[in-house]
Amino acid sequence: MAANRFDGKVALITGAGSGIGRAVAQRLASEGARVFGHDIAAEALTETEQLVRDAGGEMLVRDGDISKRDECVEMTADCVAAYGRIDIVGNVAGIARAEHFVDVAEADYRRMMGVNVDGPVFVAQATIPHLLEAGGTLINIASNAGLMGQAFTVVYCMSKGAIVQMTRSLAMEFVKQDIRINAIAPAGINTALSTGFRIPDDIDFELMIPYSGYRGMGEASDIANLFAWMASDEASNMHGSIVSSDRGVTAG
């Protein structure tokens, strides 16, 4: 592994309080990045900050709700005020639920779209000017759910499909400028999101087999490893890509 690929770089990571976001924050900091972490869960975020600092890394944090545009603007301003630049942005924060489509409450529908779509859009709007200045990179966490139809998670799939298309379309809008924009599409990763996933008792489980896969779950570090590579100069040829890391779930 190349050492300190991110010396002098600043990374803004949402969802840094848990799971993939925490693993990404730890991984980038371990290779020299100064990390600005964001999450709605203040305590968990402080835990990540402590873990990074205990390992000798540099990290600052801010808690708030990315579904609010003002919060994304202020978070970005805080990061720039503290560190002077932004080289890497990770749109990682997200939520998931399983339900019968016709039973999805309006408030739950709006929350899912608010966190999983509005949030990444507002974060991208606020940070892209800084990434253009730095010649930086935006990495969105999509999902296998954004690439295939899945029963009982229709709204989650819609939200991740939006992330796939946001990634590709932004890549085209900025194709002539010095910025790289890509997405990672994980399937089942062992995190709070997946362990807390509740499936209604009365669903047809057979319909869930295609997206459960045959190789079990991955770890947050699997995605953090890929994220670090995509954020590094080693991935300079990557722009507009949706890269699956899913143990074969979307292969067949």
Ligand X SMILES: NC(=O)c1ccc[n+]([C@@H]2O[C@H](COP(=O)([O-])OP(=O)(O)OC[C@H]3O[C@@H](n4cnc5c(N)ncnc54)[C@H](O)[C@@H]3O)[C@@H](O)[C@H]2O)c1
DSSP for 10-37? EEEEETTTSHHHHHHHHHHHHTT-EEEE
Closest approach, Cβ 222 to ligand X, in A, equals 11
Closest CB to ligand X among residues 17, 57: 17
- b (16+ CB within 10 A) / e for 134-151: bebbbbbbbbbbbbbebb
> How far is Cα 5 from Cα 29, in angstroms, rounded to an integer?
10
Closest approach, Cβ 172 to ligand X, in A, equals 23
Closest CB to ligand X among residues 41, 113: 41
> How far is Cα 234 from Cα 211, in angstroms, rounded to an integer?
31
Closest approach, Cβ 140 to ligand X, in A, equals 9
Closest CB to ligand X among residues 57, 186: 186
Catalytic residue among 83, 109, 156, 214: 156
Binding site for ligand X (CB under 6 A): 14-15, 17-21, 39-41, 44, 65-67, 92-96, 115, 119, 141, 143, 186-189, 191-194
- As to burial, measured by CB atoms within 10 angstroms (0-12 exposed, 13-18 middle, 19+ buried), residue 109 is middle
Closest CB to ligand X among residues 18, 182: 18
Would you call 83 a catalytic residue per the annotation? no
Closest CB to ligand X among residues 85, 111: 111
> How far is Cα 94 from Cα 70, in angstroms, rounded to an integer?
18
CA-nearest of 113, 111, 87 to 180 is: 87
Helix (H) or strand (E) holding 132: helix 119-134
Closest approach, Cβ 37 to ligand X, in A, equals 10
Closest approach, Cβ 175 to ligand X, in A, equals 25
CA-nearest of 248, 190, 196, 194 to 219 is: 190
> How far is Cα 49 from Cα 78, in angstroms, rounded to an integer?
16
For 174, list phi and psi in degrees, rounded to 5: -110, 25
Catalytic site residues?
Answer: 156
